[in-house]
Structure 1
Amino acid sequence: MSHPRAAKYSFLVTISQTLLLGIIFMTIIFLSKQYFPMIFTKSEDMIHAASELAYLLGITMVLTSVSQTISGLVIGCGWQVMVGYINLACFYIVGLPIGLFLGFNQHLGVKV
């Protein structure tokens, strides 16, 4: 028996929870960007470098959490091949050219 309304509701609840948790953890990272790196290192240079990257980490946490939830949902629906193609396309067609453009053309390089 199929239950399309229940599946749609489950999808919305899962995405909402993931988005809420991502936003909560992003906020925690943003508010504790000076103190969070102290858990891992005592070096002042590393703490300063990690503090500058806190915004990128927070935004990445939200995007990754939602992305992985949707990916898991689609794999659960039996569309593994489509997820594989989408992941490959996103990496090689979107991500790699953007990384090359920002790293070499815009001279952003490596953040240290």
Structure 2
Amino acid sequence: MNDTWTTIARLATRLEEHSTLPREQRILFQLLKIQEEAGEVAEAAIGAMGQNPRKGFSHTWEEVEAEVCDVIVTGMVALTRMNPHAAEVFAEHLERIRRRDVGDVAKIAPEQ
């Protein structure tokens, strides 16, 4: 997982170095980028189901998965641009979710 956050930090640094906007605006545009990527998930899912009469079956489920990954990466980059301790912030948040929604993982049967 360290490699993941290292890659995310490098992406965030690259974006920071590219922009001349004030910090608050850079963060705002990164947050808007999450919405843009989510729209691409919707477009791909519609295409995978063939629900656009003009385009038909224009996407595969593998493309939907890739778009979901883009949303996740974009969110991780946004968190990193907001907080240099993003990995710790995320880990703590995920732990709160685990305690709230999963409970004791030792009591959960492993997937077969």
Q: Same fold (TM over 0.5)?
A: no
| Category of TM-score, reference length = shorter chain | 0.3 to 0.5
Q: Rg: which structure is higher?
A: 1
Flag the structure with higher helix content. 1
Task: Please report the TM-score for the alignment, with normalisation by the length of structure 2.
Answer: 0.42
